[in-house]
Chains A and B, each alone.
Chain A
Amino acid sequence: MAVTLTEKAAQHVSNFLQKRGKGVGLRLGVRTSGCSGMAYKLEFVDEVDGEDEVYESHGIKVFVDARSLPYIDGTELDYTREGLNEGFKFNNPNIKDQCGCGESFNV
Chain B
Amino acid sequence: MALFHIAEPGESAAPHQHKLAVGIDLGTTNSLVATVRSGMAVVLNDEQGRPLLPSIVRYLPDGQVEVGYGAQSWQARDPKNTVVSVKRFMGRGRKDIAHVESLPYDFVDEPGMVRVKTCAGVKSPVEVSAEILKVAKARAEAHLGGELVGAVITVPAYFDDAQRQATKDAARLAGINVLRLLNEPTAAAIAYGLDNAAEGIYAVYDLGGGTFDISILKLSKGVFEVLATGGDSALGGDDFDQRIFCWVLEQAKLPPLSHEDARLIMTRAREAKEFLTSHAEAPITVKLSSGPTIDLTLDVATFAEITRNLVTKTLQAVRKALRDAGLRPEEVKGVVMVGGSTRVPQVQRAVAEFFGQEPLNNLDPDKVVALGAATQANLLVGNKTGGDDWLLLDVIPLSLGLETMGGLVEKVIPRNSTIPAARAQDFTTFKDGQTAMAIHVVQGERELVSDCRSLARFELRGIPPMVAGAARIRVTFQVDADGLLAVSAREQTTGVESSITVKPSYGLSDDEIAAMLKDSMSHAKDDAQRRALKEAQVEAQRLIEATQAALKEDAHLLSAEEIARIEASIAKLQTLMLGDNRRHINLAMDDLGYETQEFAHRRMDQSVKRALAGRKVDDLNTAEEGSQS
Query: Closest Cβ of chain B: how far from A101's Cβ, in Å?
Result: 5
Expressed in whole angstroms, the Cα–Cα distance for A86 and B40 within the complex equals 14
Q: Looking at chain B's contact residues, is the secondary structure mostly helix, strand, loop, or mixed? A: loop
Interface centre among B7, B9, B11, B37 (most CB of A within 10 A): B9
> Across the interface, do A103 and B40 meet the contact criterion of CB distance under 8 Å?
no
In the assembled complex, B144 has its CB within 8 A of some CB on chain A: yes
> Across the interface, do B39 and A20 meet the contact criterion of CB distance under 8 Å?
yes
Taking a contact as CB atoms closer than 8 A, the residue among A34, A42, A46 that contacts B5 in the complex is A42
> Across the interface, do A44 and B4 meet the contact criterion of CB distance under 8 Å?
no
Q: CB-CB < 8 A to A85: which residues of B?
A: 3, 142-145
Taking a contact as CB atoms closer than 8 A, the residue among B38, B47, B145 that contacts A16 in the complex is B38
> Across the interface, do A87 and B1 meet the contact criterion of CB distance under 8 Å?
no
> Across the interface, do B3 and A35 meet the contact criterion of CB distance under 8 Å?
no
Query: Closest Cβ of chain A: how far from B579's Cβ, in Å?
Result: 62
In the assembled complex, A71 has its CB within 8 A of some CB on chain B: no
Q: CB-CB < 8 A to B47: which residues of A?
A: 84
Across the two chains, which residue of chain A brings its CB closest to B5? Answer: A87
Expressed in whole angstroms, the Cα–Cα distance for A103 and B38 within the complex equals 16
In the assembled complex, B63 has its CB within 8 A of some CB on chain A: no
> In chain B, residues 102-144, which have Cβ atoms closer than 8 Å to a Cβ of chain A?
139, 142-144
A37-61 vs B, CB cutoff 8 Å, 1 = contact: the mask equals 0011111111100000000000000
In the assembled complex, A33 has its CB within 8 A of some CB on chain B: yes
Query: Closest Cβ of chain B: how far from A47's Cβ, in Å?
Result: 8
Q: CB-CB < 8 A to B292: which residues of A?
A: none
Expressed in whole angstroms, the Cα–Cα distance for A47 and B3 within the complex equals 25
Query: Closest Cβ of chain B: how far from A84's Cβ, in Å?
Result: 4
Q: Looking at chain A's contact residues, is the secondary structure mostly helix, strand, loop, or mixed? A: strand
> Across the interface, do A33 and B9 meet the contact criterion of CB distance under 8 Å?
no
In the assembled complex, B14 has its CB within 8 A of some CB on chain A: yes
Across the two chains, which residue of chain B brings its CB closest to A103? Answer: B15
> In chain B, residues 363-406, which have Cβ atoms closer than 8 Å to a Cβ of chain A?
none
> Across the interface, do B1 and A89 meet the contact criterion of CB distance under 8 Å?
yes
> Across the interface, do B44 and A84 meet the contact criterion of CB distance under 8 Å?
yes
B interface bracket (residues with beta carbon within 8 Å of A): 20 to 34
Expressed in whole angstroms, the Cα–Cα distance for A33 and B45 within the complex equals 34
In the assembled complex, B12 has its CB within 8 A of some CB on chain A: yes
Across the two chains, which residue of chain B brings its CB closest to A88? Answer: B4
Known: A45-B9, A46-B9, A89-B1. A84 touches B139 (CB 8 A): yes
In the assembled complex, B10 has its CB within 8 A of some CB on chain A: yes
Expressed in whole angstroms, the Cα–Cα distance for A94 and B145 within the complex equals 25
Query: Closest Cβ of chain B: how far from A16's Cβ, in Å?
Result: 5
Expressed in whole angstroms, the Cα–Cα distance for A104 and B2 within the complex equals 9
Interface centre among B4, B14, B16, B142 (most CB of A within 10 A): B4
Taking a contact as CB atoms closer than 8 A, the residue among A45, A84, A87 that contacts B4 in the complex is A87
Taking a contact as CB atoms closer than 8 A, the residue among B1, B16, B40 that contacts A35 in the complex is B16
How many of A's residues come within 8 Å of B, CB to CB? 36
In the assembled complex, B8 has its CB within 8 A of some CB on chain A: yes
Query: Closest Cβ of chain A: how far from B496's Cβ, in Å?
Result: 56
Query: Closest Cβ of chain B: how far from A14's Cβ, in Å?
Result: 12
Q: CB-CB < 8 A to B145: which residues of A?
A: 82, 85
Known: A19-B40, A40-B4, A85-B143. A101 touches B9 (CB 8 A): no
> Across the interface, do A42 and B12 meet the contact criterion of CB distance under 8 Å?
yes
In the assembled complex, A26 has its CB within 8 A of some CB on chain B: yes
Known: A85-B3, A86-B3. A34 touches B15 (CB 8 A): yes
Taking a contact as CB atoms closer than 8 A, the residue among A16, A34, A102 that contacts B14 in the complex is A34
> Across the interface, do A43 and B2 meet the contact criterion of CB distance under 8 Å?
no
Query: Closest Cβ of chain B: how far from A48's Cβ, in Å?
Result: 11
Q: CB-CB < 8 A to B10: which residues of A?
A: 43
Q: CB-CB < 8 A to B15: which residues of A?
A: 33-35, 39, 99, 101, 103-104
In the assembled complex, A80 has its CB within 8 A of some CB on chain B: yes
Expressed in whole angstroms, the Cα–Cα distance for A83 and B45 within the complex equals 12
Q: CB-CB < 8 A to B44: which residues of A?
A: 84
> Across the interface, do B16 and A20 meet the contact criterion of CB distance under 8 Å?
no
Q: CB-CB < 8 A to B139: which residues of A?
A: 84
> Across the interface, do A43 and B1 meet the contact criterion of CB distance under 8 Å?
no
Query: Closest Cβ of chain A: how far from B16's Cβ, in Å?
Result: 6
Expressed in whole angstroms, the Cα–Cα distance for A87 and B146 within the complex equals 14
CB-based closest 6 A-B pairs: A87-B3, A34-B15, A103-B15, A102-B2, A102-B1, A104-B15
- Identify 23 residue pairs between A and B in the complex whose beta-carbon atoms are under 8 Å apart, listed by A's number: A16-B38, A16-B39, A31-B12, A34-B16, A39-B15, A40-B4, A41-B7, A43-B6, A43-B7, A43-B12, A44-B7, A45-B9, A46-B9, A80-B3, A82-B3, A84-B45, A85-B142, A85-B143, A88-B6, A89-B1, A101-B15, A102-B1, A103-B18
A interface with B by C-beta (< 8 Å): 12-13, 16, 19-20, 26-27, 31, 33-35, 39-47, 80, 82-90, 98-99, 101-104
